[in-house]
Amino acid sequence: MPKHKRERKKRIGQRIATGFALLIYLFIYAPIAVMIVFSFNDQETNYFWNGFTLRWYEKLFYDSSIVEYLWVSLIIAVSATILSVIIGTLGAVGLVRFEFKLKKLVNQSLYIPIVIPEIVLGISLLILFDFIKLPLGFIAIILAHVTFCVPFVIIIMRGRLAGLDLSVEEASMDLGANRMTTFFRITLPMLLPGIISGAFMSFTLSIDDVIISNFVAGPYSTTLPVKILSLVKTGLSPEVNALATIMILVMLFGILANSIVQAVLRKRASTVIKSYF
How would DSSP label each residue in 73-114?
HHHHHHHHHHHHHHHHHHHHHHHHH---TTHHHHHHHTTHHH
* 199 occurs within a structural domain: yes
Cα 222 from Cα 232, distance rounded (Å): 15
* 271 occurs within a structural domain: yes
* 200 occurs within a structural domain: yes
Consecutive 10-residue averages of pLDDT for the chain (277 residues): 70 84 90 86 78 84 79 92 92 82 82 87 90 89 92 88 73 74 78 85 90 85 84 77 86 81 70 56
Q: Say what the pTM is.
A: 0.79
User: What residues make up the domain containing 266?
Assistant: 63-276
Q: What is the pLDDT of residue 233?
A: 74
* 92 occurs within a structural domain: yes
* 58 occurs within a structural domain: no
φ and ψ of 52, to 5 deg: -85, 140
* 39 occurs within a structural domain: no
Q: What is the pLDDT of residue 86?
A: 92
Domain count for the chain, please give it.
1
CATH of the domain at 268: 1.10.3720.10
Nearest to 156 by CA among 117, 116, 204: 204
* 227 occurs within a structural domain: yes
Cα 72 from Cα 84, distance rounded (Å): 18
Core vs surface per residue 143-182: b (16+ CB within 10 A) or e: bbbbbbbbbbbbbbbbebbeebeeebbebbeeeebeeeeb
3-state class of 153 per DSSP? helix
Say if CB 74 and CB 207 are below 8 A apart.
yes
Question: Is residue 273 packed enough to be buried (19+ CB in 10 Å), middle (13-18) or exposed (0-12)?
Answer: middle
Cα 41 from Cα 51, distance rounded (Å): 6
- Cβ neighbours of residue 142 under 8 Å, at least 6 residues apart? 76, 79, 80, 83
